[in-house]
A and B are shown apart, each in its own frame.
Chain A
Amino acid sequence: MAVTNVVLAGLGGQGVVKASDLLSTTAFSSGLQVKKSEVHGMSQRGGSVTTDVRFGKQVLSPMVPMGEADFLMVFESSQVDINLGWLRPGGVLITPDLIPEGELKNRKSLNVALLGAASMVMDFSEQEWVAAIHHCFPPKLHAVNEHAFALGRKLGAELSRPEVIEGV
């Protein structure tokens, strides 16, 4: 039952849900089963948002159990501590510190940049990711997001994969 668990967390308006759409689309079009779940409802901007993305041969519950995330991606530094509990021992933490201030033309594409970094330690090809960007964004936003994604890949080159834990 090799399911990959990803938790994405941030604040409303940061594109957390968009990022999770992008990740799920990539995983889904590569042929895997995907479940993506989030709690949304409130229109207002600014509150915490977390979404769960799970993919693999067979995925049952749409929710990542606490302490079982292989990847925790946090889009806002103030949200790192409260979300650490999702990450399993040996899992990969990705935070906004990876993308230094000023590197991005538009800080709004931080979500895609962080996915670019994460993509370095996930098993999907660059083409699959780019196809998903095209699928999830309107044409006028393709270039800016592809740029952010490429930047993320460069800055994420040093990340290491989640540790495989024996016997789990």
Chain B
Amino acid sequence: MASTERLLLSGNEAVALASLHAGVRLGTGYPGTPSTEILEAFSLIGGPAQWSPNEKVALEVALGVSFAGGRTLVTMKHVGVNVAADPLFTAAYIDLTGGLVLISADDPGMASSQNEQDNRHYARAAIVPMLEPSDSQEAYDFTLAAFELSERWRVPVILRMTTRICHAKTEVIPGEPRPSDMEPHFERDIPGRVMIPAYARPAHHKVRAKMEEIARWNEESGLNRIYPGDKSLGIIASGISVMHAREAAPDATVLALGLTWPLPMQMITDFVNSVDRCIVIEEGDHLLYEALTVAGLRVEGKPEMYRFSELNVSRVRRIIAGDVSPEAPRPRGKPPELCQGCSHREVFEALSRLDCIVSGDIGCYTLGVLPPFEAMDTCVCMGAAIGVGLGLRHVLPEAEARRVVSVIGDSTFVHSGLTGIAEMVYNPPPTGHVVLIVDNSTTAMTGRQEHPGTGRSLNHEPTNRMDFVAVCKAMGVKNVEVVDPQKDEAKFEEVLKDMMARDELSVLIAERPCILAAPLIRKLEKAEEEKRCAGSCAAAPVE
């Protein structure tokens, strides 16, 4: 690829291109805004990519790829890292082989998330290096750097992006492909990869030592930059805040941190000492400010009110001016609603008519909480519908317990609903329970991705399909029924009512494709059918 080529790419597309140039052997992940387009773009330009049922499994598959000597990319939204945290914390102790880069796509301001957790905490807690690009060019450059860093120190590396990096399009001038020259093969390394206490104890010391080395290397890594300016004001920032700060204070001297964990403390100290006044501009928690203050550096942080939501140029101007007066509210637009014709509508109409206590979950169907339905009572995290519903059933008085229904989407069911069913079968409440799977044959919320229940892979090729009815029955659920809530609206409500009246365990599957996904599903099914027919005709004996 010519190095003068200018491309206008989103941060997500830039990570995908860099992963291709890094020679990634397998990209894994689970959809989640704002990370979803990375694997899709990677697959589109020819990279091997697959959706996993959830983020934990995605990271585990990636670890296997790394142990085999292959480079691997794992993508997820910020809350996905919570799900993947168990393997992540121990992966840090392990000497990896192929480079492993985990994308954490954070959503400050919660454009499309249930919380605005700041995943910079994970670098510190899990003991892994973290890079934070400030535009698409850096997303491209840092992804390549992350693979090299990961292989050199044999550690997982987190590339932390945010909505305004993932979804903003900015210029990228790509470089030459830089794949690793390692060919996948198996090499046994028991003490390095089997984390029993005897091997994990030295491994903990080892990873701390690695981080100290990386911190020293980071002083000259070239991943942190100083934009020179007037010495009366110095600003330390990372990620998108670098851009807001440079615009808000065009005359200031700015230290833009790229490899933000472990920190280049000498470089930062010299910077702080070189300016009269030094402010840390960071989105989210006061992490950088706290780290520098603990190190004895005289820096200013931001007032507490700016911990919430995204930063932008106006807010950075206010931080610099110490302005804590109330901010003008942002214009509030029209909220999203379930599409006209969406089959979740009939489901929530029925739940509302039956006066159900709805233990809800995350997906398009969460919009059932808004008028005119207002038929959702709880929503915590993916998969919580089932556990929370069971807890309610166990403790509520009988008449109320009977009204409790757990509502969960098909993608969410595969992501983290199965263990909830195991709990239900193992610890059934006295009134039984009803789980309603709203199966619209896609992961609609994040832009219609495939999942194990659709029988199609990331790029819509046919693969094995997980059969929800068979799974629920095999796990020990007594009543399992499938009804189309739109075509058989009356029957749907009748079956639901009947299940609620019994003291038994029931799963009702409301099956009807999302109307936005339906045209593609029909096309794919038709193509499949034709292929099958052509195959069987060709195989038929000639008369």
Contact = CB atoms under 8 A, between A and B. Distances in A.
Interface string B337-368: 11100100000000000000000000010010
Given A37-B168, A41-B34, A82 B446 contact: no
A66 B317 CA distance: 12
Contacts of A65: 312-314
Given A34-B170, A39-B167, A46-B339, A63 B333 contact: no
Given A62-B168, A66-B314, A11 B334 contact: yes
Closest 7 CB pairs of A and B: A48-B333, A41-B112, A47-B336, A41-B33, A62-B168, A60-B247, A37-B168
Contact of B446 (A43, A48, A63): A43
Given A44-B364, A47-B333, A65-B314, 6 more contacts: A12-B336, A37-B168, A43-B516, A59-B170, A61-B243, A65-B312
Interface string B454-476: 00000000000000000000000
Nearest to A39: B111
Nearest to A13: B339
A61 B333 contact: no
B332 interface: yes
A30 to B, nearest CB: 12
18 contacts: A11-B334, A12-B336, A25-B8, A28-B171, A35-B169, A43-B516, A44-B337, A46-B339, A47-B335, A61-B243, A62-B240, A63-B164, A65-B312, A78-B334, A79-B333, A83-B331, A85-B328, A86-B331
B111 A35 contact: no
B445 interface: yes
A119 interface: no
Given A12-B336, A44-B337, A34 B171 contact: yes
Contacts of A28: 6, 8, 171
B372 interface: no
B120 interface: no
Given A34-B170, A38-B167, A43 B448 contact: yes
A33 interface: yes
Nearest to B315: A65
Interface string A37-61: 1111111111111100000000111
Interface of B: 6, 8, 33-34, 109, 111-112, 135, 163-164, 167-171, 240, 243-244, 246-247, 250, 312-314, 328, 330-339, 342, 364, 367, 444-448, 514, 516
Contacts of A46: 334, 336-337, 339
- Tell me whether chain B's interface is mostly helix, strand or loop, or mixed: loop
B243 A62 contact: yes
A63 B33 contact: no
Contact of A44 (B33, B135, B338): B338
Give the residue among A34, A45, A50 with the most B Cβ atoms within 10 A: A45
Interface in A62-102: 62-63, 65-66, 78-79, 82-83, 85-86
Contacts of B444: 43
Contacts of A62: 135, 164, 168, 170, 240, 243
B509 to A, nearest CB: 21
Contacts of A61: 240, 243-244, 247, 312-313
B332 A82 contact: yes
A153 interface: no
Contacts of B169: 24, 34-37
A82 B312 contact: no
Contacts of A164: none
Contacts of A37: 164, 167-169
B339 A42 contact: no
A1 interface: yes
A9 B167 CA distance: 17
Interface string A1-14: 10000000101100
Nearest to B317: A65
Contacts of B447: 43
The interface centre, meaning the residue of A24, A48, A83 with most chain B CB atoms within 10 A of its CB, is A48
Contacts of A45: 339, 516
A40 B168 CA distance: 11
B168 A33 contact: no
B7 to A, nearest CB: 9
Contacts of A1: 250
Given A47-B334, A48-B334, A36 B168 contact: yes
A86 B334 CA distance: 17
Given A35-B168, A61-B312, A65-B313, A42 B334 contact: no
B168 A44 contact: no
A44 B171 contact: no
Contacts of B314: 65-66
A48 B342 CA distance: 19
Contacts of B8: 24-25, 28, 34, 36
A84 to B, nearest CB: 8
Nearest to B514: A43
A134 B457 CA distance: 31
Nearest to B250: A1
Nearest to A81: B331
B336 A39 contact: no
Nearest to B77: A41
A39 B337 contact: no
A22 B444 CA distance: 26
A42 B112 contact: yes
A53 to B, nearest CB: 9
Contacts of B164: 37, 62-63
A139 B328 CA distance: 45
Nearest to B33: A41
Contacts of A63: 164, 244, 312-313
Contacts of A47: 333-337
Contact of B336 (A42, A60, A66, A78): A42
A11 B333 CA distance: 9
Contacts of B367: 44
Contact of A50 (B109, B333, B336, B446): B333
B259 to A, nearest CB: 21
A57 B131 CA distance: 27
Contacts of A60: 243-244, 246-247
